[in-house]
């Protein structure tokens, strides 16, 4: 790989680590402590909907940016990077309203379900599926060119 590709990958990984490491100071999320306690019997924290929505959108934007750096660095294909970004946006667009409904319902739908929906909202988990999928796609393209 070229040096620029490694810089993109390392920057993306460091960015994702930074987002996770600085989450308490960068984002408004009163549920960090709630889910960190891992006790479904503690009281749900008070929060402001507007700040919570903006905090999650900002976090998603940062995660998306750094994830796209990683995808671009690995595959060197702008079209695939855009496809990865669209896939991440689709998952976020599905998971965010479900998670907000869980909050609205005061986690009545289930503590663990709410916990894992939150993971899909605040963490770039979908990249763990996108990279192997694109790698397989790349291998299939190489195989088809040979035959």
pLDDT tens digits for range 44-62: 899 999 999 999 999 999 9
Domain that holds residue 78: 2-146
| Kind and range of the H or E run holding 77 | none
What CA–CA distance (Å, rounded) separates 77 from 61?
20
Q: What are the structure tokens assigned to 6, written together?
A: 């490694």
CA 8 to chain centroid: 18
pLDDT tens digits for range 75-85: 999 999 999 99
Q: 110 or 19: whose pLDDT is higher?
A: 19
The domain total for the chain is 1
Stated pTM of the model: 0.91
What CA–CA distance (Å, rounded) separates 67 from 9?
9
- pLDDT exceeds cutoff 90 at 147: no
By three-state DSSP, how is residue 45 classified?
Answer: coil
């Amino acid at each position: 790989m070229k040096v620029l590709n490694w810089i993109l990958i390392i920057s993306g990984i460091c960015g994702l680590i930074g987002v996770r490491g600085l989450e308490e100071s960068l984002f408004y999320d009163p549920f960090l402590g709630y889910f960190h306690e891992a006790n479904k019997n503690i009281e749900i924290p008070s929060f402001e909907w507007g700040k919570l929505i903006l905090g999650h959108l900002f976090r998603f934007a940062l995660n998306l940016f750094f994830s796209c750096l990683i995808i671009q660095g690995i595959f060197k294909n702008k079209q695939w990077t855009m496809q990865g970004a669209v896939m991440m946006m689709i998952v976020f667009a599905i998971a965010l309203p479900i998670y907000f409904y869980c909050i609205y319902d005061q986690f009545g739908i289930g503590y663990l379900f709410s916990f894992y929906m939150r993971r899909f909202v605040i963490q770039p988990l979908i990249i763990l599926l996108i990279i192997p999928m694109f790698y397989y796609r790349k291998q299939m393209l190489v195989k088809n060119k040979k035959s």
